[in-house]
Amino acid sequence: MPSAAPADRPDAGAPRPGAPLLTFYHDIEQDLAGEVDVQQCRRAVQAFLDVERRYGVRATYNVAGKLMREQPDLLGWITAGGHEVAFHAYDHPPDWAPRHSAPQIDLCRQVSTSIAGYRSPRSEIDADAVRHLWETGFRWNAETDRRDEPYFIHKGLVRLPIAADDWPLRGGAVCPDAYVREIEHLLRQRPYVAIGFHDAATSRALSERLTIWEELLKQATRAQAAIVTFSEAADLYRRAAVARYYTRTAGDWNHGTQSLYRTHRFQQLVREEVERLSDAVVADLGCGGGVLSAPLRDVANTIYCVDNAPGMLAEIDAAGCIVPHLGDATASGLPARSVDLIICARLIEYLYWPERLADEIRRIGRVGATYLVTFPAARDVPPANEGTPPDRIRRHFTPDDIRRWAQPIGPGRLIGVQYDAQEPSDAAAARRYRELEEQPPPQAVPTNWVYIGSVEDRGAVAPHAPPLDVSAAAFRFASKTL
């Protein structure tokens, strides 16, 4: 994506406050659902990519899994342009019906286990398939939907509602001018708009459809819309939902956590590390009410408390060296190579891209800085992922997961905290819990892992687009759990 807007991109500029959140997408299916010229479909993809490059727009390309497997060059074009790739079923049967969904989802997962999103042919999907998407590791599902903003459709799976595509143009049900006016109306009325064109439909009238597509990109620029991929929209919704929840519950949460064994143990581990340093600069990423970092006032030089929930920051006593900072843990805004100790507790389990937290730790930590990150431990019984937004999206980690995550930052040690899920009943029980942590039983799994490592100089951090602020979209959060 260009760092500056090209000369032919009109009225380019940053998203304006209150502007709609907008996703451009393409369904790539070639001749799987009907007779079309495959080469013309491929030319349509190249043409879409060219116009999106000129306008500095990143889109989501929902590609049939069979085409991913058989045409790697097609995927190469898309990813080289910085666009997102998701699944559009596996082989898009012409007689598509919801009964095809689960086998198609499984075939897609044989192609890739890392792709985050799925869109069904004709937006025909049933509740069983939606559950199967979550069970097989998908994080979002985009379909035509009567709602006008994202929502949790099942557990932590985010439904991204599609507002319009190009099928009315294909059948002549609407003329191009009327179609463009309808999109203008949607951009004025909806907080979130997803608009998509198909390669197959476009291939039949390439010049006309590309003209319309470019006009839609111009509209988005004039509206100063915040243009995001489907994954970025899902991430923004998740972060906004969690931030809203913790803002509303900040007082109770900060009061309740003070009495927990794991809180006291985390505090002890953090203090041990900061006391090894001299006049330390501390960054507490996802600080909540400063439960872990505020008690370090007597031994730290500066403590940056970073959180994206305003209600949590309001709970912090900003006296002394405490600096509350509204921001995202993966894009804190703190200076590079400026921090001696990075704390990140009870946060990584909510992140859409945990690797971006590793990047931020590498970026802000001085060489030799200490980082301390907590992880909920994966146990035999998987989490329910139901209820409040944090519970819906929380993931759990194995020791191997944690070591892979930490590898780009620098070496460290893994400590298990609280091998019994119950809170200790008295001081003697708390001492017994600590003894178990020092000599854990064979094969035992704690409720939490703590990784304490050292930042090494491992080269420059690869840049990625900073996340939109959680206030970027005016979500209404209709669900009672939010």
Class of the 248-454 domain?
alpha beta
Helices 38-55 and 206-222, packing angle to 10 deg: 20
- pLDDT confidence tier of residue 20, bands split at 50, 70 and 90: confident
Q: Enumerate the domain spans of the chain.
A: 21-228, 248-454
Span of 414-423, 435-444, 463-472 with lowest mean pLDDT: 463-472
Task: Give the pLDDT band (50/70/90) at residue 382.
Answer: confident
- pLDDT for 480: 67
The reported pLDDT for the residue numbered 33 is 87
User: Taking the model in full, what pTM does it have?
Assistant: 0.94
Quote the CA–CA distance of 109 and 87 in Å, as a whole number: 9
* 152-195 pLDDT per residue, tens: 999 999 999 999 999 899 777 789 999 999 999 999 899 999 99
Pick the closest to residue 351 from 253, 242, 245 (CA basis). Answer: 242
Give the tens place of pLDDT for each residue, 87-125: 999 999 888 888 889 999 999 999 999 999 999 999 999
Per-residue model confidence (pLDDT) at position 242:
96
pLDDT value for 173: 78
The three-point CA angle 151-22-144 to 5° equals 50
Mutual angle of helices 206-222 and 176-189, in 10-degree steps: 30
CA neighbor of 336 nearest in space, from 467, 235, 463: 463
Is the model's pLDDT at 15 over the cut of 80? no
Sign of the torsion formed by the C-alpha atoms of 382, 235, 345 and 314: negative
Rounded CA-CA distance 14/31 in Å is: 38
Architecture of domain 21-228: Alpha-Beta Barrel (3.20)
